[in-house]
Structure 1
Amino acid sequence: MSIAFLLTTLVIVATPGTGAVYSIAAGLSRGSRAGIIAAFGCTLGVIPHMIAAITGLAAILNASAVAFETIKWLGIAYLLFLAWQTLRDRSLIQAEEDAAPLSSWRVIRTAILINVLNPKLTIFFFAFLPQFVPAGDPSGTWQMVGLSLVFMAFTFLVFALYGVFAATMRARVLGRPKVMTWLRRSFAATYVLLAGRLALESR
């Protein structure tokens, strides 16, 4: 495994995106446990894209304008839904931990959908992984699986760090309604901006 792959993966994963924003929001609103759960969910959301890239489905997505646009607009709609939900979510200004199993499942489900409904991630895998696998190598598929697992590990670790760091700031902002209202609006605005960026994306 090359240093170039590790460094490129770290840069890509560490660059703030939808998954990172959601992990931070989860950590800030519900604590470090929720932040780690969100990171885990975002990592699971990578699996469909990994499978698509390895099986060649990414090529179909890249070639089909209809398939790409359908997934893209579903992703945009979901990001806008998250923005609306964030504005309405009063848990961000509550000082109590919410560790109910149902809540954990909701965090995981939302995190998975965030990454699944992102066609650029599939195409990224399709264009990124093959660069680090020798052409014609009979074990190429397994190498891509290994590289994908490394990418997922980086995703989990970085997003979990984002979530835990946000949780450490939680005590400083809980109980301050104005601050929490500003944060809630900021997260909602970020989701809207990410939706706008995705709307401008093309194959």
Structure 2
Amino acid sequence: MTLEFLLTALIVVVLPGTGVLYTLATGLGRGARAAMLAALGCTLGIAPQLLLATLGLTAILEKSGTLFQAMRIAGTLYLLFMAWQVWRAQGVMAVDSQHSPRGGLALIGTGIWLNLLNPKLGLFFLAFLPQFVPVDSADARSDFLLLGLVFVVMTLIVFIGYGLMAAWVRDHVIGRPRVMAFIRYGFAAAFVLLALRLGFERL
């Protein structure tokens, strides 16, 4: 494992995407604990994609246009549903539902589904990780999996950092409804943009 991989992976993880947006929105709406659960859910959603890529099963998705399109449509609709919830101050940005008894499992589940329904994630692993597997590796699959696990751990750490930062901001704006509404609308628009990007994605 090289410093080049660690730096490149960190840049990729830090860049805003669906998981980052979800974790930030949760931190702003429900606080630090909820944000950490959201980060955990997003990370758990990455793990199956990594496993499929390691086993070579992601190649099936790459070759099957129908399966890819089905996952793409499902992921797009799910993101639009998230945008609708955020816009209406429900779901992750429903401030008054912070102490909901089922909130924890729901937050983790949403994070998992956001990444499971992203057909480009497994393809990303296939394109990104092999660049850092040594050419003369005796067990390329194990090296591939190890790099992927490091990427997953980095994702969890960075997402938790994003979530805690959002929770800190929340403590300063929670008593300002207009500011919270402005932030909420911004996140709703961002979810819509992510949905459109996924909706027009092609292999």
* C-alpha separation in 1, matches of 2:136 and 2:71: 31
Within a 5 Å distance, the mapping from 1:59-98 to structure 2 comes to 59-90=59-90, 92=93, 94=95, 98=98
Cα offsets for 1:117-168 (capped at 9, x unmatched): 1111110011111222234633222212211110011101111110000111
User: 1: distance between equivalents of 2:27 and 2:87?
Assistant: 17
Q: Tell me the C-alpha RMSD between the 2 structures.
A: 1.6
Q: Deviations over 1:85-124 (max 9, x none)?
A: 1122357464x67244410111100011111111111100
- TM-score with structure 1 length normalisation? 0.93
User: Normalization by structure 2: what TM-score?
Assistant: 0.93
Counterpart-to-counterpart distance in 1, 2:125 and 2:57: 11
In the alignment, the residues of structure 1 paired with residue 53 and residue 30 of structure 2 have an alpha-carbon distance, to the nearest angstrom, of 34
TM-superposed CA distance for 1:192, in Å, is: 0.2
Provide the aligned length of Structure 1 versus Structure 2. Answer: 202
Deviation readout 1:28-85 (Å, 9 max, x if unpaired): 1111111111111111010111011111111111111111111111100000000111
How far apart in 2 are the matches of 1:90 and 1:125? 33
Partner of 1:185: 185
Structure 1: unaligned runs, 5 residues or longer = none
Q: Which residue of 2 aligns with 1:47?
A: 47
* Structure 1 residue ranges (4+ consecutive) displaced by more than 6 angstroms after TM superposition: none
Would the alpha carbon gap of residues 134 and 62 (structure 1) be closer, same or farther in structure 2, given more than 3 Å must change? same
Identity of aligned residues (%): 46
Q: 1:111 and 1:119 mapped to 2: Cα distance?
A: 15
Q: 2:134 aligns to what SS in structure 1?
A: coil
Change (3 A) 1:195 1:137: same
Quote how far apart the aligned CAs of 1:199 are: 1.7
Unaligned stretches of 5+ in structure 2? none
Q: Which moved more, 1:164-173 or 1:85-94?
A: 85-94
For 1:139 and 1:154, locate their aligned partners in 2 and report how far apart those are by CA, in whole Å. Answer: 23
Q: Which moved more, 1:174-183 or 1:103-112?
A: 174-183
